[in-house]
């Protein structure tokens, strides 16, 4: 089955406060091998972007003012992700925003059974340790130097590499090009594939893990 690595950027944290999606990035993989099929768009949210959100991704009201609205790209987006597993880091956040957008235009919500949440996988593998995208890049020695701001397509590229490491697979070469490459300059042409590295935990991570076990397990062997 094909997989989609997906990320969004939004005007703010919660749909309960009326926040909207302003960027969608998707990278397609076929059995973990990139197909070079990419879905990417910026969106006019029809509301102001919060100052805190601008600090995170850098997308201003002015930049988004002439972009398409979600209803204009919904069918193309749904066709792109149809019948595919969707890989997301912190799926609850992205799904809440995407499903809100879909409900606003009378479309069915994305089936949660098709979702793979890398945040949950990472929490299971590394209890007590940092599991943000940046933390996982550091753990697996994945170069995230291009991530000056949170942008959907760059985050998708990093997440694809993280996911392959999380499930103990070799990382394929990633070489994508966005159809909508305003403010996106990924430069994947020279990215080389590599084998998953064995990373020894630090002393701080070992201590956090022991603390986690003491707190959450009835019986343990740590004194």
Answer whether 23's CB lies under 8 Å from 97's CB: no
Angle value at C-alpha 8, between 11 and 6, nearest 5 degrees: 170
Q: Which of 57, 89, 150, 209 is catalytic?
A: 150
Q: What's this model's pTM, rounded to 2 decimal places?
A: 0.77
Q: What is the pLDDT along the chain (223 residues), one digit of tens a residue?
A: 899 999 999 999 999 999 999 999 999 999 898 898 999 999 999 999 999 999 999 999 999 999 999 999 999 999 999 999 999 999 999 999 999 999 999 999 999 999 999 999 999 999 999 999 999 999 999 999 988 888 999 999 999 999 999 998 654 444 455 555 444 444 443 334 333 555 667 777 777 777 777 776 654 444 4
Query: Going from the N-terminus, what domains does the chain have, and what CATH number goes with each?
Result: 2-196 (3.30.420.10)
Sheet holding 33-42, edge to edge: 33-42, 21-30, 2-10, 85-88, 115-117
Q: Which residues contact 17 (CB under 8 A, 6 or more apart)?
A: none
Q: Is 40 a catalytic residue?
A: no
């Amino acid at each position: 089955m094909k997989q989609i690595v997906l990320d969004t950027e939004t005007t703010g944290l919660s749909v309960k406060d009326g926040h909207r999606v302003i960027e969608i990035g998707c990278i397609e993989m076929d059995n973990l091998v990139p197909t070079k099929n990419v879905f990417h768009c910026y969106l006019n949210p029809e509301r102001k972007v919060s100052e805190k959100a601008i600090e995170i991704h850098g997308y201003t009201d002015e930049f988004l003012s002439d972009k398409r609205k979600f209803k204009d790209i919904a069918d193309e987006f749904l066709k792109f992700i149809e019948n595919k597993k969707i890989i997301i880091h912190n799926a609850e956040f992205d799904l809440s925003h995407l499903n809100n957008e879909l409900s606003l235009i009378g479309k069915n919500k994305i089936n949660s059974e098709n979702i793979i949440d890398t945040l949950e996988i990472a929490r299971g593998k590394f209890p007590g340790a940092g599991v943000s995208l940046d933390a996982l890049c550091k753990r697996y020695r994945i170069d995230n130097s291009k991530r000056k701001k949170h942008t959907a397509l760059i985050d998708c590229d990093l997440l694809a590499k993280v996911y392959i490491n999380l499930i103990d697979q070799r990382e394929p070469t990633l070489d994508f090009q966005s159809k909508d490459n305003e403010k996106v300059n990924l430069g994947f042409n020279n990215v080389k594939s590599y084998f998953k590295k064995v990373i020894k935990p630090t002393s701080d991570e070992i201590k956090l893990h022991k603390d986690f076990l003491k707190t959450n397990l009835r019986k343990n062997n740590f004194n």
